Structure 1
Amino acid sequence: MVNIGTLDISVVIPTLEAGATLSETLGMLGSVEEIVVVDGGSRDGTQDVAIRHGARFVRAAKGRGYQLAAGADLARSEWLLFLHADTHLEPGWKSAVTDFIASPPNKEKAAAFSFTLDDMSPQARRLEWIVALRARTLGLPYGDQGLLIHRDLYRAVGGYPSWELMEDVDLVRRIGRKRLVILPIAANTSAFRWKQEGWFTRSARNLFCLSLYYLHVPPRLIARIYGSS
């Protein structure tokens, strides 16, 4: 185990009207070298929350792909951790990340966390199982599982595309299943959207959008379908 002081990573977080969830996400990060919050046009208190927690706050074109790419360009550390604004890493994440980046061969790999939801229902447990199966067998962790990657590998595979949607799937596909590690630490994500839209409806829509991506439907059209569902 490597001793942990200030963890030398840049955490990049895309935001849009994330004032209600961002504070908890930033609060659990503790001492890291840099946090870059890349906002897509929030009008709530997102900027105030970011600044209060000592993060760099910058603006970019709306859309996670645009925002993540912009944040990676601005980040200063060699290791990058991409994280959603409503995803909270469980205690022990810094030890797991420190151990991962301390191993030289892992500069050629990337890591994601295990997916969990902040809901105790059977539907949540079922979805967590499905996501774990998808990540393990297909090598397809989504953005709400975070992504830890060395800058050299990030650049070598081309980084995040400037897309509104499916940017996470596209990047991990280019990384490849053999270079992806799922860390035994939970990234706990809000279940609000599943409960609001319906567990089956949201999951079916996500699967439909993934299918469209594999059929080479342009991401801008998938984003329209996703937004209108």
Structure 2
Amino acid sequence: MTKLSVIVPVLNEVASLPELCDHLMFLSCQGAEVIVVDGGSEDGSADLIERMGFQLIRAPRGRALQMNVGAAAASGEVLLFLHADTRLPPSALQLVDGQVKSALAWGRFDVVIEGRSAMLKVIAWLMNRRSRITGIATGDQAQFMTRAAFDAVGGFPQQPLMEDIEISCRLRRLVPPICLTDRVHTSGRRWEQRGLWRTIFLMWRLRWAYWRGVPASQLAKAYR
């Protein structure tokens, strides 16, 4: 089996860490190298992760930067970038290993968004459908890629937003993505806290602006 490194950027995730650590322990027991990159948590997240025995790297805040730092420390031939509130399906490592056939392969999973609103199922369906049509993946879909593909595009761009979209665009120029229909489960807290329709319109507006060339630093202010 190809060695796979799971890289998890975290920031102030202490409330969800017990569940996350259980999930990472399961992946570790399956043979994955697990690297957690803390971006300066102030709630004790980093200390708890270390006490749980996981490899922890401290890095400056910023998801793209944290993932790049984790990738630099990883020894796997395949890198999988996992958000702290996303859970992989039980057979994820075997699925990725079975699909990665070329040196520049990359891909993502379909996603389920968990939450109270039934509308989250529609949002997830639209995300998966759009991703399959456009070849663009989001971080919520657990992006994975070979080390060679990651290096070929220079890793994640050093920008505060849309780093997942940008790396997808760059990878797509190399080869089309592997679109796994097996689903990861991610939290819908962001959608529910901000309001479903408000979040939908905001994300579409930001993506449209990004395609038109508006700098990610400017979009990040609107996102916050």
Counterparts of 2:180 and 2:20, CA distance in 1: 18
Distance 1:156 1:20 in 2: 36
C-alpha offsets along residues 106-130 of structure 1, whole Å, 9 cap, x if unaligned? Answer: x322021111111253201110111
Aligned residues: 219
Match of 1:35 in 2: 34
Alignment gaps of 5+ in structure 1: none
**Aligned residue in 2 for 1:16:** 11
Could you list the per-position Cα deviations for residues 140-179 of structure 1 after superposition, in whole angstroms to 9, with x for gaps in the alignment? 1100111111111111122101111111100001011752
Confirm whether residue 184 of structure 1 aligns to residue 178 of structure 2.
Answer: no
Question: Which stretch of the first structure deviates more once superposed, 27-36 or 109-118?
Answer: 27-36
- Aligned counterparts of 2:127 and 2:3: Cα–Cα separation in 1: 29
SS at structure 2 position matched to 1:155: helix
Q: 167, 180, 205: which one pairs with 2:163?
A: 167
Given residue 191 of structure 1, which amino acid in structure 2 is its aligned partner? G
TM-score (norm: length of structure 2): 0.91
Does 2:211 correspond to 1:214? yes
Quick one: distance in 2 between partners of 1:115 and 1:125? 10
The answer on 1:44 being equivalent to 2:43 is yes
Question: By how many angstroms is 1:97 displaced?
Answer: 1.9
The root-mean-square deviation of aligned C-alpha atoms, in Å, is 1.8
Q: Is residue 129 from structure 1 mapped to residue 125 from structure 2 by the alignment?
A: yes
Partner residue, 1:200: 197
Which letter does structure 2 place at the counterpart of 1:111?
G
Superposition pairs of residues 66-215 of structure 1, within 5 angstroms: 66-101=65-100, 103=101, 105=102, 107-119=103-115, 121-176=117-172, 178-215=175-212
CA displacement 1:67-110 (0-9 Å, x = unmatched): 11111111121211111000011222222123124x3x2x3220
| Unaligned residue ranges in structure 2 (runs of 5+) | none
Secondary structure of the residue aligned to 2:214 is: coil
> Could you tell me the TM-score, scaled by structure 1's length?
0.89
Answer with 43-52 or 162-171: which moved more. 43-52
Q: Which moved more, 1:16-25 or 1:133-142?
A: 16-25
Sequence identity (%): 33
Q: Which amino acid aligns with 1:92?
A: S
Matched-pair contact (CA < 8 Å) for 2:106–2:144: yes
Distance 2:18 2:204 in 1: 30
The whole-number CA distance in structure 2 between the counterparts of 1:180 and 1:23 is: 32
CA contact (8 A) 1:9 1:81 kept: yes
Q: Is the 8 A contact 1:111 1:182 kept in 2?
A: yes
Q: Which stretch shifts more, 200-209 or 51-60?
A: 51-60
4+ runs deviating over 4 angstroms:
none
Contact 1:118 1:188 in 2 (8 A): yes
Whole-Å separation in 2 of the counterparts to 1:81 and 1:89: 10
Could you give the per-residue CA deviations for residues 20-75 of structure 1, whole angstroms, max 9, x where no partner exists?
A: 22332342242234211111111113113322443211121211111111111111
